[in-house]
Amino acid sequence: MRPRWIDDDRTMRGDRVAHTIIAKWRPWVHYLVSTFRIDSSSAIQRAISSLDAQRASHDYFVTRVVRCSRYGVARPGSEPLLERGYNTIDEAKRGHAEAVTSFSGK
């Protein structure tokens, strides 16, 4: 089923690569697709990577899909419906587009 509307913002701002809200035909069903960069030089990331040897020590990108309100606000602690990691920004942009396509039903 096609979406009722899609608010798609692909402009890069800070660590954000893309941000999309998808409204399905049921009025209470909305998805937030967000792609952002994880900065490996931040203090919290250095602490996490020191505990987890498997964690990447370079910058990487993540696409997450969660249920949200019509304003794009997700509930705190909401489980992601999809979460994928990417090494390059081009992969992240393609992954964001794929996630939007699969959750919008286009």
> In the chain, what are the domain boundaries?
5-104
Res. 2: pLDDT tops 90: no
pLDDT in tens, 16-64: 899 999 999 888 899 999 999 887 665 555 555 555 655 556 778 999 9
Say how many C-beta atoms besides its own lie within 10 A of residue 101's C-beta.
11
Torsional class of 2: left (φ above 0), alpha (ψ -120 to 50), beta (otherwise):
beta
pLDDT in tens, 69-98: 999 999 998 899 999 999 999 999 999 999
